[in-house]
Amino acid sequence: MNLAFTDEDIAFRDTIRTFIATNYPSRLRAIADRDDLGKEDFLEWHRILGARGWSAPAWPTQYGGPGWGPTQRYIFSEELARAQTIPILPFGINMVGPVIYTFGNQAQKDRFLPPILKGEEWWCQGYSEPGAGSDLASLKTKAERDGDNYIVNGQKTWTTLAQHADWGFFLVRTKADGKPQEGISFLLIDMKTPGITVRPIITIDGGHEVNEVWLENVRVPVSNLVGEENMGWTCAKFLLAHERSGIAGVARSKVGVKRLKELARAETMDGASLIEDPDFARKIAELEIDLTTLEMTELRTLAREQAGEGPGPESSILKIKGTEIQQRLTELAMEAVGNYAAPYVRGFRDYGDNMGVGPDYAHWTAPTYFNTRKTSIYGGSNEIQRNIIAKMVLGL
């Protein structure tokens, strides 16, 4: 694999860089805390990229993708991370969109793909339940056929940003007997449908990012079934492979390493910059080595997809190592600022609890650390990913 950029690659990078510098909204640059972002803030940049035809880098051209190869997609993600833009939320572009254009019928493609590309509809994911997380096939949410509709009853949990969602894609049980995986279907549900209740879950960092979703006699048209009834597990596995690849977050972790070094230069220990401490410098070096290795694995995955192959078991490797690196970044940031991470209180700018206590950059280390604990759990826990690797790669 040739990793040297060609003249065409460099010209492409300059085009992307110029477009971001010219078109990324200045008001979004001024928002320091993701919790200050509303629905329209998230969608504004998505819509700008959608109008340019760049919102779905990995989609085939026949469905509105830009037709980029692995190198161009890599450069695009690098430039977005370098500019620290708000990431496009994955639920539409990276998750349900590929399911619809792979398994959906033409009517579903015509109805749902254009709004996903343009950032006109916000999606959420209805997979996990209180008794069905890593063991997703044991889900209990039931959909019973009633003429041209399904009647859906059940509960989903950890549903990210469902409070903003226009639509959700849900795994539901349509058959009770046989193997659990054989009785699951994949439904698209309008979140404004009567009978849906979204209740907030406040996480350990104090934020409202995830929710419970209750479905009580929710009527869903049968036309919203993607693929065949009772074959939703195929869609679910396909979607999770794409989700896990995206969770790796290599480009943004590279920016995170740069920030960590800046933080370590600013902090002191025994009168010297922390970055000069051999033990701390070693930890950063080990992190960078692992991140570079992960980057090469991501490039191989992109090359497989370009060759017409979907994400394979290496998506589990990307998920494991990517989330571990994200967590190590936040751990080292906490270590660097030490006791200045302690007085964090969410919303301190509103009522002053943290004002004047330590450097400004220290205020965000604790909430980021706590929030990042989740990354090794969602998208299929890292323990489950190790089982997939043992079975599919090592043949154990």
Length of the chain: 396
144 is catalytic: no
The residue from 78, 79, 243, 295 that is catalytic is 243
From 146, 140, 133, select the one nearest 218 (Cα to Cα): 146
List, by residue number, the catalytic residues: 243
